[in-house]
Amino acid sequence: MKYAKRAAAAVIIVAAVIGLTAVLLWQDRPSLAAIDWPAPAIASAANSNVVTVTWLGVTTLLFDDGETQILIDGFFSRPSLADILLLRPVDNDSAVINFAMNKFRIRRLAAIIPLHSHFDHAMDVGAIANRSSASVLGSSSTAQIARGAGVPEDQITVVDGRSSFSFGNFNVTLLPIGHAAFGWRGTVPLDGVIEEPLLMPQAVSAWRMGGGFTVIIEHPQGTALIQGSAAYKKYDFKDIAADVVFLGVSQLGALGKDYAEVYWQHTVTATGSHSVYPIHFDDFTQSFGDTQLPPRIIDDFEETASWLEEFRRRWDSDTSLFIPEFGKPMAIFLSPQPNPDPP
């Protein structure tokens, strides 16, 4: 009896220690304030002719030239950590979607372009399309997400191979690309395709990767390249000149510094961009608008940022690094001053 009591007490103590350690590790998050990069140029309300990009968390980006809007991804609903871990069915959050579309004046939307079909990129594309007349461009899996939401077929375009489209003064090119393989034993997380219309609610595991794209957005004012996942193809961008790169960095630390440097060279150095904005660095289990960073044990963005700064100094010293500000219309094509080198 005494042995059983001691064993039970030991189990309780060990469980308490493990629980406390987990809580402390989860609370250990880096701060954006520790990253000493210049602030991006925010467009003034008076200048409506400047192309702006508004970052709406994770990899959702709203391009706007005053006449036409292009939305990269569409992720306003935010499943909780418990929803994700327990695979609980989740649905579009209509209140948050309506708030976001009203708050950020998403009223001239011509196209919605998910970079791939994981939930943190494409969960809300159907709901957004149904609140606009925008076309949904993407893989066959993205099309099934839209169909599940009841989006009319004439608003859905399945992209197979390199394809270009024009919307107002924007020319949009989609280049097929894979997903960073940071899953178990070098696999792509939630790989595969969505074969049937995705009816809500669903567990987040229902949103399969389904094929991904690099998106190039050209406008008379400049060219931007958007890379949502830290994947690259050798020489894929050698003939592409971009003024701005939006660089997906989620789990870049897990892939290692050497991988990250090659990724930088094949996306930033190869395109000759003057500005780089990391994206997909925030904790997507937080509510819409909360851009706190993930715990270090999950993804240490402070370390990733130090790598990016090192790569900038080594390979592209005339390029500037910026942290996008949530909900602020950034004038991305204004040529910035380079980041000052540390003393």
Give domain limits for the chain: 1-30, 32-330
Cα torsion angle, 321, 260, 307, 312, sign: negative
Greater confidence (252 vs 49) lies with 252
Both tokens assigned to 339: 């980041």
Instruction: Check whether 221 has a pLDDT greater than 70.
Output: yes
Q: Point out the least confidently predicted range of 51-55, 107-111, 176-180, 241-245.
A: 176-180
User: What topology does CATH give the domain 32-330?
Assistant: Metallo-beta-lactamase; Chain A (3.60.15)
Using CA atoms, how far apart are residues 225 and 53, in angstroms rounded to an integer? 12
- What are the distances in angstroms from CA 96 to CA 120, 127, 166, 198? 15, 11, 29, 20
Which pLDDT score, from 0 to 100, does residue 109 have?
A: 98
Residue 339: pLDDT band with limits 50, 70, 90:
low
Instruction: Check whether 20 has a pLDDT greater than 50.
Output: no
The mean pLDDT of 47-61, rounded to a whole number, is: 93
Q: Point out the least confidently predicted range of 68-82, 85-99, 154-168, 322-336.
A: 322-336
